[in-house]
Homo-oligomer: A and B are copies of this chain.
Amino acid sequence: MARMKAAVFVDKNRIVLDEKPIPEVGPLDALVRITTTTICGTDVHILRGEYPVAKGLTVGHEPVGIIEKLGTQVQGFHEGQRVIAGAITPSGHSNACLCGCSSQDGAGTLHGFKAIGGWKFGNVIDGCQAEFVCVPDAMVNLSPIPASLTDEQVLMCPDIMSTGFSGAERGGVGIGDTVAVFALGPIGLCAVAGARMLGATTIIGVDTVAARMTVARQLGASYLVDFKQGNVVEQIMALTDGRGVDVAIEALGTQSTFEWALRVLRPGGTLSSLGVYSGDLRIPLDAFAAGLGDYRIVTTLCPGGKERMRRLMQVVASGRVDVSPLVTHRFRLEEIETAYELFANQRDGVMKVAITP
């Protein structure tokens, strides 16, 4: 059986490059030869043992590649086609999928809903930091890459853009809105771009790293607030003449950012949460107007599926959003352990790395 290189979770603090068999392709699957992939903050959680996955699992959920082999039942694609797949790979046939909630796909469950069930790559099935990945439900999940786009240009689509944009979409951003984005990592930066895509006219980015703030401004931020330079809430209320923001996007996953987001909302505003939290959250009574402020708190897991990917690649192809500044470092798959070391420790101004087998 042919073998391939793959980044494998071995144990806490150990993701190593190993050899594994090239995956078998079931009737509905596609085998994709990875040409470019990347490392996500969630992978770092896995590395550190903060998010549990099975030992021996191949990690990674952001695949760009070429179809190597199609399952017997897969139609509408051909081998040799350049494709991406979303980080979230819904089945298309669960009850969750059929009522517009496909990230919570629970295809194998009695009722078709399972929390975080749509996230499979590098979570419950082998992921794509490898030479090959097996994409489940290929007809739902493979999306052809427009010929005009490079791998790196679409590398942010599977997760970073999809998640970041969804923060603005689920927050209901509209024309003339004021939006604040808390934390300007790759997802927060894409939330800035997404808020701009949906018509926000004032976008306030909150972070402290200068390089991130620079990219935020390129992507549409009107103002940048450094959370180390004075009270964040006061700064934002001043910038909005005391009005507050229509939508606050949380893009980190901490009590501080969550609470700031709530405190800067205008009455009737929406807190759109993208972060992965690691502890209980607290909603302060005053910030919540005792429950009478018509506030909404919405959370979103990265939307997947080929139509989503098609649309995000259209955004790139149209030139409306240039996410290329996000890829700051490039590595060969052979160097992935080094890449993890750099990325996990946020060294050298890294934002996203491109990994090429």
Contacts and interface: CB of A to CB of B under 8 A. Distances in A.
Interface stretch (A11-19, A126-134, A283-291, A324-332): A283-291
Nearest to A28: B73
Contacts of A295: 298-299
A273 to B, nearest CB: 5
Interface stretch (A207-215, A227-235, A239-247, A344-352): A239-247
A158 to B, nearest CB: 15
A274 to B, nearest CB: 7
Interface stretch (A58-66, A309-317, A333-341): A309-317
Interface string A61-97: 0000000000011011000000000000001110111
Interface in A292-313: 292-301, 305-308, 310-312
B98 A307 contact: yes
Interface string A197-232: 111011000000000000000000010000000000
Contacts of A267: 96, 101, 104, 106, 113-117
A198 B75 CA distance: 33
A303 to B, nearest CB: 9
Interface stretch (A2-10, A30-38, A147-155, A168-176): A168-176
A318 B222 contact: yes
Given A101-B267, A268-B113, A296 B293 contact: no
A1 interface: no
Contacts of A289: 115-116, 299
Nearest to A92: B92
A326 B38 CA distance: 46
A356 interface: no
Contact of A299 (B92, B99, B119, B291): B291
Contacts of A277: 285, 288, 290-291
Interface residues on A, range: 35 or more
A305 B76 CA distance: 22
A357 interface: no
Contacts of A72: 27
B291 A285 contact: no
Contacts of A108: 75-76
A55 interface: no
A263 B110 CA distance: 19
A294 B285 contact: no
**Residue of A275, A307, A315 with most partner-chain B CB within 10 A:** A307
B101 A97 contact: no
Interface string A36-68: 000000000000000000000000000000000
A242 B299 contact: no
Contact of A201 (B93, B199, B320): B320
Given A92-B140, A291-B273, A315 B176 contact: yes
A275 B292 CA distance: 8
Contacts of A288: 277, 281, 299
Interface of A: 27-28, 72-73, 75-76, 91-93, 95-104, 106-108, 110-117, 119, 137, 139-140, 165, 169, 174-177, 194, 197-199, 201-202, 222, 241-244, 253, 266-268, 273-285, 288-301, 305-308, 310-312, 314-315, 317-318, 320
6 contacts: A92-B97, A101-B268, A111-B266, A175-B197, A201-B311, A202-B314
